[in-house]
Structure 1
Amino acid sequence: MSTNRAVRIHGKNDIRIENLPIPEPQENWVQLRMSSVGLCRTDVHLFDEGRVDHIVIDKPITIGHEISGTVSKLGSGVTSLAVGDRVAVDPCRACGDCHQCCRGRPNICRQLHCCGVLHADGGFATYMVTPAKTCYKLPDHVSLEEGAMMEPLSVGVNGVRRAGMVDGDVVVVIGAGPIGLFAMQVAKALGASRVMMVGKSMLKTNSFKALLEHDFSYTDINPKRLELALQMGVDQVLKPTVGLSDPKAASEELKAALGDEADLCIECSGAPGVVDLAIHACRPGGKVLMLGFGDMAMNVHLGMAAVREIDVIGSFANLHNYPECIRLVSEGKIDVRSAITHRLPLENVMEGINLVRSGESVKVVINCGAC
């Protein structure tokens, strides 16, 4: 093939499949023949809004950051990989020199490039190039589809590690999307004594004021996602009935179903009011981990967290977690394949965007050609 078919976003509501030159790897980089690439809600935000918060599409970019592929060409100096190696790709590329990088936190590098999102082309293409150090070889029995799921899985691993979960913790995960399903499995694999998955509504509101006026409800929770959570090993599920205009009352329903208070609440929904619910659901000294991001400005009762010494912790991307993710999947401790509900060819990426937007899918994987 003499051209590189790529899905490019040019701005809000402007997505195109284009024929580009095949990229050549520079020194210490490799060229990949792309295989399976996951479609993330971030990709949908980039299409719908032309931005994700402060990240604005100011020039065309090839999207796709949940990446697997096969090494097709080596740049000079590459000795860690060989042509034909099957790899999962960490999309984050830190500068290595800034304050955060020098202190071992490259995931929050001020100069961070994230291929498919920020400053670098991603994986929805026939070919891409990436630094060799971002590629992680997959064991023979781990598929390329599973390799594409290492990125969302790494978000869960990084978050649970950052939250300092310990053996025996009681964990509540709110939101049964891909990140929630993976975070739930990570918590169990790393020693949680019990994990409950709480469904969240697909209804979206634009502000906390709207939440209060309309008593944001849970009536349209997707029951299939809770069923999937049970299939993937969660101990119990809860479909709440109490609206979030009264987070304390909603937390009482949650704690009654759990039969306990939580040591750790993992918020994966980004829905308004859920952080407050999580704070109330924790025992004193507990922790709230924010993996789902909705509105950047929130009306949250942090004073309640402060007086009960509840830590509210943010987590972003991953921190050298790919080897652990590959090990957990390779050893059968985490099932990522069951989260994949739809598989589409590259030309049908718009169908995939609609599936993610509608909530019909859990995880959509785009087949870029290689296998």
Structure 2
Amino acid sequence: MMSVVTGHIGLVNPLVAKATGASQVCVTDIDEKRLVMAKEMGADCVVKVTSKDAKEVAAQVIEALGEKPDFTIECSGAPPSTRTAIFATKSGGCVVLVGMGPPSVELPIIDAAVREVDIRGVFRYVNCYPTALNMVASGAVNVKPLITHRFKLEDSIQAFETTLRGEGIKVMIECKK
């Protein structure tokens, strides 16, 4: 069982979690469009985050899953989400920090320590690329639905404006001649 905080990187995690045997995946986000996409991509449940209270959001995740997840992957880097991940994860479980937030964050470290919640960092590049490429190449993970917009090179400004407006998930600029 897994909980994932989403974003375009976070939307890949439910796919990978399912491909590697997660029984249930719950995705949290502040953006309704990303939650819809997460459901379309296989998330079992979604939670729209409307509060910065980490314990409150953790309770919503636990309620949605029916129990605390074994693993929680935090992909936004937002400090409240990192705290939520610790509170939501079961005792003896693991929180994986993918998102890059501020250099210093206040964490409920005693809560993690007394419940023996492991906190691990991952930067996506070390030891991940061969596995990721194999999963995509084999068809175990289909990332194509994440690409919601494509622009020609000469339309790059429009691509950046689309991204700045928060439209779409992954905006691509095609550099074909």
Instruction: Kindly provide the CA deviation profile for residues 25-80 of structure 1, in whole angstroms up to 9, marking residues without a partner as x.
Output: xxxxxxxxxxxxxxxxxxxxxxxxxxxxxxxxxxxxxxxxxxxxxxxxxxxxxxxx
Cα deviation for residue 320 of structure 1 reads: 4.6
Match of 1:186 in 2: 16
d(CA) in 2 for partners of 1:350, 1:289: 35
TM-score by length of 1: 0.45
Q: Does 1:172 align with 2:7?
A: no
Match of 2:69 in 1: 262
Supply the AA of the counterpart residue of 1:172: S
d(CA) in 1 for partners of 2:83, 2:172: 33
Match of 1:364 in 2: 171
Is the alpha carbon distance of 1:282 and 1:321 closer, same or farther for their aligned partners in structure 2, counting shifts above 3 Å? Answer: closer
d(CA) in 1 for partners of 2:154, 2:163: 16
8 Å CA contact 1:240–1:254 kept in 2: the answer is no
Q: Does 1:237 align with 2:46?
A: yes
Q: Does 1:352 align with 2:159?
A: yes
Between the two proteins, the alignment pairs up a number of residues equal to 177
d(CA) in 1 for partners of 2:67, 2:25: 11
Is the alpha carbon distance of 1:253 and 1:321 closer, same or farther for their aligned partners in structure 2, counting shifts above 3 Å? Answer: closer
d(CA) in 2 for partners of 1:226, 1:302: 29
Supply the AA of the counterpart residue of 1:239: K
Match of 1:133 in 2: none
Instruction: Kindly provide the CA deviation profile for residues 225-276 of structure 1, in whole angstroms up to 9, marking residues without a partner as x.
Output: 21211221122212234x12x3212211221111010111101112231111
Identity level (%) = 39
What is the DSSP-based 3-state SS (H/G/I as helix, E as strand, rest coil) of the residue aligned with 1:230? helix
Cα deviation for residue 356 of structure 1 reads: 2.4
Match of 1:289 in 2: 96
What is the DSSP-based 3-state SS (H/G/I as helix, E as strand, rest coil) of the residue aligned with 1:341? strand
8 Å CA contact 2:14–2:43 kept in 1: the answer is yes
8 Å CA contact 1:255–1:261 kept in 2: the answer is yes
What stretches of structure 2 of length at least 5 have no aligned partner?
A: none
d(CA) in 1 for partners of 2:80, 2:143: 29
Match of 2:25 in 1: 195
Pick from 62, 72, 82 the counterpart of residue 275 of structure 1. Answer: 82
8 Å CA contact 1:172–1:195 kept in 2: the answer is yes
Cα deviation for residue 327 of structure 1 reads: 2.7
Q: Pairwise mapping of residues 81-96 of structure 1 onto structure 2 (< 5 A)?
A: none
Supply the AA of the counterpart residue of 1:235: D
8 Å CA contact 1:288–1:312 kept in 2: the answer is yes
Q: Does 1:249 align with 2:80?
A: no
d(CA) in 1 for partners of 2:98, 2:154: 31
Q: Which protein is richer in helix relative to its size?
A: 2
Q: Pairwise mapping of residues 14-93 of structure 1 onto structure 2 (< 5 A)?
A: none
Cα deviation for residue 350 of structure 1 reads: 2.8
Is the alpha carbon distance of 1:320 and 1:267 closer, same or farther for their aligned partners in structure 2, counting shifts above 3 Å? Answer: closer
What stretches of structure 1 of length at least 5 have no aligned partner?
A: 1-169, 202-220
What is the DSSP-based 3-state SS (H/G/I as helix, E as strand, rest coil) of the residue aligned with 1:178? coil
d(CA) in 1 for partners of 2:82, 2:126: 24
Match of 1:328 in 2: 135
d(CA) in 1 for partners of 2:102, 2:128: 27
8 Å CA contact 1:197–1:238 kept in 2: the answer is yes
> Which range is displaced more, 254-263 or 223-232?
223-232
Q: Pairwise mapping of residues 291-330 of structure 1 onto structure 2 (< 5 A)?
A: 291-330=98-137
Q: Which protein is richer in strand relative to its size?
A: 1
